[in-house]
Amino acid sequence: MITRADVVIIGAGPAGLAAAIAASQNGFRATVLDARMPPLDKPCGEGILPHGVAALRALGIHLDSSVATAFAGIRFEDEESSARADFAEGTGFALRRVRLHRILMDRATQAGVDFHWGAEVIHVDTDFVTTKENRIPYTWLIGADGQNSAVRKWAGLDKRDVRRKRFGFRRHFQVRPWSDAVEVHWAEGCQMFVTPTGEQEVGVAVFSRDPQMRLEQALPRFPSLAEKLSGAVPTTSEMGDTTSLRRFPAVTQGCIALAGDASGTVDAIAGQGLSLSFQHAIYLAEALKQGNLEQYEIFHRKIGATPVAMSRLMLLMDANSALRRRTLRLFANSPNLFSKLLSVHSGTQPLSSIGVGEMADFGWKMLWA
């Protein structure tokens, strides 16, 4: 039996590593378990919004041009309209998922985190985490084991809700980025994200409700993007995963807490997954220090409210092509409004910064866009 850990984290993806770093920074002895071996990869947009960059900074990780590619804002584009908004404060950064994982691992090691790789967890109870090789006593347990979390099930927090899965596939291409913004290209039934991940590389991801949709099938729907990628050499194989908007009534039970995708997901269309995970880590460590997980429940709901609202808006745009075209025309014709919404979405301004009058004006313009 391994010596008792103050905090055991199951799952060594970005959410689990961030939670371990934050716990260690607050004086806890943190142990991370994962059945896989590093480095860990996962198909995602690979962009981190300004509030996620700030959360990483609080964890002792300072992203800059030596390790990541900066992006200044977001561009939405369809066959009729193009709208861009830059971040009012801060900068976003993008980097390959495996590089981010190495950076987080290095910081966790520096912070004194213990790792157990290849450790398959077979049971959890209120006193022990049991793997095939060990029983580990713990004071606090964090489930950071993804959207199909086993910890969530063991804790009785896996309340099933109605969710509509979408499917995402990502690949990198060797080509010089043509923009300093993350681009979201819209077409009937799918979106393609383009993220600059290096001086001579972009990450391209497609999201749709069709499980058969791949980059090769999607690209003809985006002629301008297909032209930019013409002749570009793929630098990675295509990887896929599911995505959905999913919330749970609670993310804590007794001495157990959930973080990252294990605690609920926002659809990848919102680009918020990594940034939320890093924020979860900071708030959860503060709650552990106070010995009160109720505070984490409150913070978790609070920081998730705006990403959930923005996800729902963009999923409506995905499901309703007329609404999507109208919204993008409005953004193109009202750049100040788009900039404000981006500031809210990227965490640099609260939703209350958009006044009632502005929201009414937004609704009125939607009717006439």
Q: Which tokens sit at 34?
A: 């994962």
- pLDDT, tens only, 95-153: 999 999 999 999 999 999 999 999 999 999 889 999 988 899 999 999 999 999 999 99
Q: In this model, does residue 367 exceed pLDDT 50?
A: no
* Count of all residues that appear for the chain in the document: 369
Mean residue pLDDT of the chain comes to 91
pTM, two decimal places? 0.93
Distance of CA 334 to the CA centre of its chain: 28
Strand partners, 173: 202, 234
Query: What domains can be seen in the chain, in order of their start residue?
Result: 5-59+98-160+245-312 (3.50.50.60), 320-368 (no CATH)
Structure token pair of residue 360: 């009414």
Residue type, 97: R
Q: What pLDDT is recorded for position 155?
A: 93
The closest of 77, 109, 119 to 324, measured between CA atoms, is 77
DSSP 192-247: EEEEEEETTEEEEEEEES-TT--HHHHGGG-HHHHHHHTTPEE-S--EEEEE--B-
CA distances from 288 to 20, 46, 276 (A): 12, 29, 18
pLDDT tens digits along 20-53: 999 999 999 999 999 999 988 888 779 999 999 9
